[in-house]
């Protein structure tokens, strides 16, 4: 017997038939004698609908400002997961399974006060463990917790993944199964490169880079939590027949296992190619080169919850002036420019420039630590295709390259082939 946390995304619970299919997956594990908790997202499209209502309400009243209280945003958008958890509990009960729905505040899942993008601080899994030990399936609304103000706080888009991994850590689960509309993690996006291969295993570090650099399979924070708490996580397809051969295999079910590097016997030099569209580049020109200038730029951006990446600094020949260039998601450009404008006097830049519509393509692999020439191969392959590079950042296990948007798919296919990832 094992303790398993199962998570199902929006497409997996898009309508009543699919919720019934999810219930069959859960029943398979219950019938095998496992203790089970299930985390669910809102039905596909529901969160977007709720967010749209929130954004349009100020306009409907004729208000001059489009802004709204983030606490009320959370109260509204959290309702999507509450509906799904109740429906799945009813489906399971109808199939003769002892099940009960839970909201984030009932567990409780404690979060910080960053409404709309809250972080989980603590989970008391004692009551869940007791109920599961009695044979009850806990059906938990993902994406939400309880803030210090005793109001519901949501975890940001994709937050149900984070809920599932955190709950798995909180109840000391043997594994966490993330069911989605794909059957695992691939070497790159199969929609761009049909020769992409499904990975049997991928290290936490590699998956963290893949998720943060554009792979949409898992939310970044969920991978961070899995790595910190060593939660063995399987990415699986909810659209496989629940009763197909191997689906109930406790140790090696179909899908991709995200695990410690030590579990991976044969390490490839490059594991995968990720890409992130809709990147924007912001440049601050002719800053005074003095201590504290970077903090003056990136401190206010961090306080505004704007994620910054690919920071490049160029210093003038006499060392008196510097240019600072960095990337942000295109959706955050206006917000970032406002923050920078509000802090212009403190930062001391001459002019700010921005360019949207860029793409970040990344080469990822733990094998890069012990192999030279990986970066050179990427640059050579892109040069042969006439693709110009705007910025480069590297770490121990990744190389990220910023290019013009129209070259995204060509760059992904080129790099995928350059490292032999299209070969079986």
- Mind listing the pLDDT tens digit for each residue in 397-406? 999 999 999 9
Residue 381 in tokens: 């392959």
- H helix intervals, 280-423: 293-303, 333-342, 344-347, 374-384, 408-418
Beta strands (DSSP E) in 64-130 are: 99-102, 109-111, 120-123
Which pLDDT tens digit goes with each residue over 292-309?
Answer: 889 999 999 999 989 898
Q: Is 246 exposed, middle or buried (0-12, 13-18, 19+ CB in 10 A)?
A: exposed
Which pLDDT tens digit goes with each residue over 90-143?
Answer: 999 999 999 999 999 999 999 999 999 999 999 999 999 999 999 999 999 999
With CA atoms as reference, report the closest residue to 231 among 299, 289, 152, 163: 163
How is 164-217 classified by DSSP, letter by letter?
HHHHHHHTT-SEEEEEESSSS-BSS-TTT-TT--B-SEEEHHHHHHHHHTT--S
In degrees to the nearest 10, what's the CA dihedral of 292, 295, 297, 301? -170
Does a cis peptide bond (omega within 30 degrees of 0) precede residue 200?
no
Write the DSSP symbol of residue 370: G
Which pLDDT tens digit goes with each residue over 192-218?
Answer: 999 999 999 999 999 998 887 767 788
Q: Is 382 exposed, middle or buried (0-12, 13-18, 19+ CB in 10 A)?
A: buried
With CA atoms as reference, report the closest residue to 323 among 389, 391, 395, 375: 391
Does a cis peptide bond (omega within 30 degrees of 0) precede residue 274?
no
Which pLDDT tens digit goes with each residue over 140-178?
Answer: 999 999 999 999 999 988 899 999 999 999 999 999 999
Residue 178 in tokens: 């993330």
User: Contact at 8 Å (CB) between 120 and 145?
Assistant: yes
How far apart, in whole angstroms, are the C-alpha atoms of residue 159 and residue 371? 36
pLDDT over 90 percentage in the chain: 78
Which pLDDT tens digit goes with each residue over 1-47?
Answer: 899 999 999 999 999 999 999 999 999 999 999 999 999 999 999 99
Residue 266 has pLDDT above 80, yes or no: no
What lies within 8 Å, CB to CB, of 208 at 6+ separation is: 220, 223, 224, 227
Residue 319 has pLDDT above 80, yes or no: no
Res. 184 pLDDT band, cuts 50 70 90: very high
How many Å from the N-terminal Cα to the C-terminal Cα in the chain? 35
Question: Quick check: helix, strand or coil at residue 259?
Answer: strand
Q: What integer is the mean pLDDT of 336-360?
A: 93
Which pLDDT tens digit goes with each residue over 233-248?
Answer: 999 999 999 999 999 8
Q: What is the model's pLDDT at position 368? A: 87
What value does the mean pLDDT of the chain take?
Answer: 92
Write the DSSP symbol of residue 136: P
Out of 80-94, 194-208, 216-230, 255-269, which region has the weakest mean confidence (pLDDT)?
255-269
What lies within 8 Å, CB to CB, of 176 at 6+ separation is: 4, 5, 6, 7, 164, 165, 168, 226, 231, 232, 233, 234
Total count of residues recorded for the chain: 424
User: Contact at 8 Å (CB) between 273 and 215?
Assistant: no
Q: What is the model's pLDDT at position 35? A: 97
Res. 317 pLDDT band, cuts 50 70 90: low
Q: CA separation (Å) from 391 to 379, 399, 410? A: 12, 11, 18
């Amino acid at each position: 017997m094992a303790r398993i946390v199962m998570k199902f995304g929006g497409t997996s619970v898009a309508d009543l038939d699919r919720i019934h299919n999810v219930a069959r997956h859960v029943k398979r594990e219950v019938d095998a004698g496992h203790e089970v908790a299930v985390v669910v997202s809102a039905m596909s499209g529901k969160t977007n609908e709720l967010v749209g209502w929130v954004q349009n309400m100020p306009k409907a009243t004729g208000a001059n400002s489009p802004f709204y209280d983030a606490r009320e945003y959370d109260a509204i958008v959290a309702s999507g997961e509450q509906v799904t958890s109740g429906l799945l509990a009813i489906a399971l009960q109808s199939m003769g399974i002892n099940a009960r729905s839970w909201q984030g505040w009932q567990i409780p899942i404690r979060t910080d006060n960053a409404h709309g993008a809250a972080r989980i601080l603590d989970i008391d899994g004692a009551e869940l463990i007791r109920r599961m030990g009695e044979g009850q399936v806990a059906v938990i609304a993902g994406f939400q917790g309880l803030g210090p103000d005793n109001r519901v706080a949501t975890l940001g888009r994709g937050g149900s993944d984070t809920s599932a991994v955190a709950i798995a850590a909180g109840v000391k689960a043997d594994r966490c199964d993330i069911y989605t509309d794909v059957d695992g993690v691939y070497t790159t996006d199969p929609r761009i490169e049909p020769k992409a291969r499904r990975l049997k295993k991928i290290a936490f570090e590699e998956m963290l880079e893949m998720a943060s650099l554009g792979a949409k399979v898992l939310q970044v924070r969920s991978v961070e939590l899995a790595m910190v708490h060593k939660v063995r996580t399987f990415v699986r397809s909810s659209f496989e027949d629940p009763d197909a051969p191997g689906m109930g295999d406790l140790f090696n079910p179909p899908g991709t296992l995200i695990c410690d590097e030590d579990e991976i016997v044969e390490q490839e030099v490059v594991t995968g190619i990720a890409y992130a569209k809709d990147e924007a580049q912001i440049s601050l020109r002719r800053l005074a080169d003095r201590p504290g200038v970077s903090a003056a730029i990136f401190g206010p951006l961090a306080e505004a919850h704007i994620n910054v990446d690919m920071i490049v600094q160029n210093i003038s020949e006499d060392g008196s002036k510097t240019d600072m260039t960095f990337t942000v998601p295109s959706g955050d450009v206006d917000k970032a420019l406002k923050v920078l404008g509000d802090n212009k006097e403190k930062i001391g830049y001459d002019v700010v420039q921005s360019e949207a519509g860029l793409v970040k393509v990344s080469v990822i692999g733990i094998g890069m630590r012990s192999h030279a020439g990986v970066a050179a191969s990427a640059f050579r392959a892109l040069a042969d295709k006439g693709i110009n590079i705007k910025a480069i950042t590297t770490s121990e296990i990744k190389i990220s390259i910023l290019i013009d948007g129209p070259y995204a798919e060509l760059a992904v296919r080129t790099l995928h082939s350059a490292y032999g990832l299209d070969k079986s």
